[in-house]
């Protein structure tokens, strides 16, 4: 009761002080006060298993990242108009880890800024304006990028030069057919832009199609679409804000599909919670933008941000977290698959590495957003934190810090099975 009163007071304050566009998770909002590894603790010290937060990729409050931030903050924090080693150490490591022909980096503070900048670069390089995204894409919050983020809702008007294409769908007919279907959508968008006198600048794709319901496999389905945009004179921008830094069990998401990117946007996990993001790109694209525009981002790439990002990269290597994401991810997918096999209320399990989407269905096999939400809330009451996504909001989204281990997978699966069992039991009695 006391707890309810405290949270109700916080909620009221929040509503009074914060803009109406914010949304909280869960019917009964969660109020963490401390984080450590995969755990978030409420004010009574009760541990909640965080199976959702991809930002804290090396674990909440990793001591080495915290120390790097604190030390740099106590030494120097300034902007990118002075010489400093850390930004170079950080950029070098990131570029070395990215496949050719990505050779240079520009730092920003957020994934949205990175996508906005990548779009500007693509427009400057190609001379085109058109931008192609998937039907339920989310790429960020700036004006240009919100206008290319249909998942923000039907009230957000898409840009005049933005076209959407159906997200890739695995109909079980093989990678070639899936790739061809997706590429046909991209070609139709290019044709429609042309009919309106607009040349394409870029195809911008979240490498894991997170808001489209999580689509990662079969690997290779992206290749024909990338080929299609290139033939039309546009660039391929890989949005790795969610997919990047080991999420899928390999370091970056787009090379899984055997494609090269002209520009790659990075964000979320880069600083383990400290704002660090950026655009990596081909030298010619960067050079061209440099000739036509200057770019200065007051906070982007500052010494503290770069110290955080560098520490994250070091910890990832020291703790072998990409390999862990692959191995533990395989267990996660096996566990979820086993649960899904026991009930017709769970459908396809998609994703790769430590990213999983589980379709929730009604008794007739149709998407069931209400059950998905009730499950998400039910898990929260059992101290396991996940969310839901997808065009019908019926895909359970599981995306834990990369330090998730086998015991955590077991806990998550146990709680999911238990919650689903209890729910279906109660609903049958009704």
Contacts with ligand PMP, residue ranges (CB under 6 A) = 110-112, 115, 138-141, 206, 210, 239, 241-242, 267, 277
Closest separation in Å from C-beta 170 to ligand PMP: 20
274 contact partners, CB below 8 Å, separation of at least 6: 65, 69, 304, 305, 308, 309
Cβ proximity to ligand PMP: between 59 and 111 the closer is 111
Cβ closest to ligand PMP, residue 10 vs residue 24: 24
Position of minimal CB gap to ligand PMP: 111
CB 214, min distance to ligand PMP, A: 11
Closer CB to ligand PMP, residue 210 or residue 394? 210
Nearest approach, Cβ of residue 117 and ligand PMP (Å): 12
At 270, give phi and psi (nearest 5°): -50, -40
DSSP string, 315-340: HHHHTTHHHHHHHHHHHHHHHHHHHH
Reported residue count of the chain is 430
Residue 249 CB, nearest approach to ligand PMP (Å): 18
Residue 366: other Cβ atoms inside 10 A: 10
**DSSP assignments along 233-266, one per residue:** T-EEEEE-TTTTTTTTSSS-SGGGGT---SEEEE
Nearer to ligand PMP, 275 or 378 (CB): 275
The distance of Cα 75 from the centroid of its chain, to the nearest Å, equals: 32
For residue 85, the minimal CB distance to ligand PMP (Å) is: 26
- Provide the CB-side half-sphere exposure for 104 (13 A, CA): 12
Q: Which two tokens stand for residue 363?
A: 């008794």
Q: Pick between residue 300 and residue 335 the one whose CB is nearest to ligand PMP.
A: 300
Nearer to ligand PMP, 304 or 416 (CB): 304
Question: What's the rounded Cα separation, in Å, for the pair 208 and 206?
Answer: 5
């Amino acid at each position: 009761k006391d707890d309810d009163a405290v949270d109700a007071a916080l909620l009221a304050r929040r509503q009074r002080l914060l803009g109406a566009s914010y949304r909280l998770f869960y019917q009964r909002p969660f109020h963490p006060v401390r984080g450590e590894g995969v755990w978030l603790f409420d004010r009574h010290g009760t541990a909640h298993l965080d199976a959702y937060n991809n930002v804290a990729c090396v674990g909440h409050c990793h001591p080495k990242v915290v120390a790097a931030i604190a030390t740099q903050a106590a030494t120097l924090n300034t902007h990118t108009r002075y010489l400093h080693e850390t930004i170079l150490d950080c950029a070098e490591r990131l570029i070395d880890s990215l496949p050719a022909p990505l050779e240079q980096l520009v730092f920003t503070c957020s994934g949205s800024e990175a996508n906005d900048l990548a779009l500007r670069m693509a427009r400057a390089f190609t001379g085109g304006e058109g931008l192609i995204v998937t039907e339920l894409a989310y790429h960020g919050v700036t004006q240009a990028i919100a206008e290319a983020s249909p998942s923000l809702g039907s009230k957000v008007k898409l840009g005049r030069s933005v076209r959407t294409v159906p997200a890739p769908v695995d109909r079980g007919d093989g990678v070639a057919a899936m790739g061809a279907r997706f590429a046909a959508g991209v070609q139709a968008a290019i044709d429609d832009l042309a009919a309106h006198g607009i040349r394409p600048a870029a195809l911008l794709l979240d490498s894991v199609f997170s808001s489209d319901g999580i689509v990662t496999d079969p690997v290779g389905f992206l290749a024909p679409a990338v080929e299609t945009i290139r033939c039309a004179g546009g660039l391929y921008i890989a949005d790795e804000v969610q997919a990047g830094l080991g999420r899928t069990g390999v370091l970056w998401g787009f090379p899984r599909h055997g494609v090269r990117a002209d520009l790659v946007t990075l964000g979320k996990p880069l600083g383990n919670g400290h704002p660090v993001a950026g655009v990596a790109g081909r030298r010619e694209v960067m050079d061209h933008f440099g000739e036509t525009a200057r770019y200065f981002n007051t906070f982007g790439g500052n010494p503290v941000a770069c110290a955080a990002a560098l520490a994250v990269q070091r910890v990832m290597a020291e703790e072998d977290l990409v390999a862990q994401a692959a191995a533990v991810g395989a267990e996660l997918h096996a566990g979820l698959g086993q649960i899904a096999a026991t009930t017709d209320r769970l459908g396809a399990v998609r994703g790769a590495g430590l990213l999983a989407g589980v379709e929730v269905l009604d008794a007739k096999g149709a998407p069931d957003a209400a059950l998905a939400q009730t499950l998400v809330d039910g898990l929260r009451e059992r101290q396991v934190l996940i969310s839901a996504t997808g065009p019908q909001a019926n895909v359970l989204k599981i995306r834990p810090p990369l330090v998730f281990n086998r015991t955590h997978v077991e806990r998550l699966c146990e709680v999911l099975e238990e919650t689903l069992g209890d729910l279906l039991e109660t609903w049958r009695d009704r």
